[in-house]
Amino acid sequence: MMRNLIAIGATMLMLFAAGWVQAGVCEIVNGSFEDDGPIDDIIAQEPNGWDVNMPSGKITGKTEASWSTDGNFSLLFSSQWFTAFAARDAGTVSQDVFLDDVNEITFDLKLDTYSGLGWDPNNATAVVMIDDEVVWEPNGASSDIRGEYTGQSYAVEDKYRDGEPHKLSFSLRINIDTEGGFFEFYRVWWDSIECVIYCDGGGFLAGDFNRDCYVDASDLQQAADVWLLEVESDDKHNLFRDDDLAGFGTINFFDLAILADNWLHRSYKEQQEVSAVEINGY
Ligand SMILES: [Ca+2]
Ligand SMILES: [Ca+2]
Ligand SMILES: [Ca+2]
């Protein structure tokens, strides 16, 4: 009996130890562009960790201190003026990363023109790419995309979880052919590029309202607080939405059933680890 209690106690300790949010930074090197200090020309000196690809004479790149969201420096791309461009000309930094355990890639950027005039996204834009495919860009519906875009994120798609490295790129990209160029410098600053890992890469389970990688009594309490109340459809407690009406839903047994399905479950990866412990020891 005593041995069993000790075993259960030990198991629970391990479960609790494994239960903390695993939010961390993956293997992006120098994602904040702090390693080198200022670099006048990233063609001449690549920022630590990054591969540089620039259309020479058309777009310049530097690390400098005029804007940053983490540390002192950021990466600045600037298109040159009165220079002929072809659509898809792009200044790019990239590095190969494994995305298997990554839930989100987060980053900050700022878009501005030199003259202070508007930035038409038909002329140029800033993009995040994986394997040269665009996975994020500013809202193209806007006729002026200048502004600070902090706390941006791209939710990594499952297709990139294949055990292979993928080329993650950050760019200033020209969108049109122009012989005469632009009477403008389009400038983008990138900073604070991170990989975020939740729940050992398994992501949050439905019903994990307080995002601690575990669906338990504290989440149930949140559901109880809004029980049978009408909430907006996108309310985080509204897990089941098929019975929503006109943008509003109710927190009822359909929602509770989804929460119950994940009750005391961990992310898929942690479940595997817990199973292994059970098979091996208890
Ligand atoms: Ca920085
Ligand atoms: Ca929770
Ligand atoms: Ca509902």
Give the pLDDT confidence of 71-109 residue by residue, as tens digits: 999 999 999 999 999 999 999 999 999 998 888 999 999
What is the mean predicted confidence (pLDDT) over 122-147? 94
Task: Find the angle CA(12)-CA(13)-CA(16) to the nearest 5 degrees.
Answer: 85
- Pick from 226, 212, 276, 275: which is nearest to 255 by CA? 226
Q: How far is the CA of 77 from the centre of ligand 1 (A)?
A: 14
Mean pLDDT over all residues of the chain? 87
- Pick from 69, 52, 68: which is nearest to 60 by CA? 52
- Pick from 264, 262, 123: which is nearest to 206 by CA? 262
Alpha-carbon gap, residue 200 to 161, rounded angstroms: 13
DSSP letter (8 states) at residue 12: H
Domain with residues 51-197, CATH architecture: Sandwich (2.60)
| Residues less than 5 Å from ion ligand 2, measured at CB | 208, 210, 212, 214, 219
pLDDT of residue 26: 63
Residue extents of the structural domains in the chain: 51-197, 205-281
Cite the beta strand spans of the chain per DSSP E.
51-53, 59-64, 74-79, 90-98, 104-113, 124-130, 133-136, 147-155, 165-174, 186-196, 230-232, 248-250
For 178-208, what is each residue's pLDDT tens digit? 999 999 999 999 999 999 888 877 778 899 9
Alpha-carbon gap, residue 278 to 282, rounded angstroms: 5
Q: Sorting pLDDT into bands at 50, 70 and 90, what band is 33?
A: very high
Q: How far is the CA of 62 from the centre of ligand 1 (A)?
A: 12
Q: Which residues pair with 166 in a beta bridge?
A: 97
Lowest-confidence segment of 19-23, 104-108, 219-223 by average pLDDT: 19-23
Q: Using an 8 Å Cβ cutoff, are 154 and 74 in contact?
A: no
- pTM of the full predicted structure? 0.71
Q: Sorting pLDDT into bands at 50, 70 and 90, what band is 270?
A: low
Q: Which residues pair with 61 in a beta bridge?
A: 77
Q: How far is the CA of 64 from the centre of ligand 1 (A)?
A: 9
Ligand nearest to the CA of 67: 1
Residues in the chain: 282
What is the mean predicted confidence (pLDDT) over 155-184? 94
Ligand nearest to the CA of 243: 3
Intra-chain end-to-end CA distance of the chain, in Å: 14
Alpha-carbon gap, residue 22 to 105, rounded angstroms: 15
Ligand nearest to the CA of 66: 1
Q: Sorting pLDDT into bands at 50, 70 and 90, what band is 271?
A: low
Ligand nearest to the CA of 212: 2
pLDDT of residue 275: 55
Ligand nearest to the CA of 194: 1
Lowest-confidence segment of 2-11, 159-168, 233-242, 244-253 by average pLDDT: 2-11
Q: Residue 210: phi, psi to the nearest 5? A: -95, 10
Q: Sorting pLDDT into bands at 50, 70 and 90, what band is 278?
A: low
One CATH from 1.10.1330.10, 2.60.40.2700, 2.40.30.20, 1.10.260.40 for 205-281: 1.10.1330.10
Q: How far is the CA of 118 from the centre of ligand 1 (A)?
A: 26
Ligand nearest to the CA of 249: 3
Q: Which two tokens stand for residue 164?
A: 């292979």
Burial class (CB in 10 A: 0-12, 13-18, 19+), 59: buried
pLDDT of residue 268: 52
Q: Is pLDDT of 127 > 50? A: yes
Q: Is pLDDT of 276 > 90? A: no
What is the mean predicted confidence (pLDDT) over 154-161? 90
Q: Using an 8 Å Cβ cutoff, are 75 and 93 in contact?
A: yes
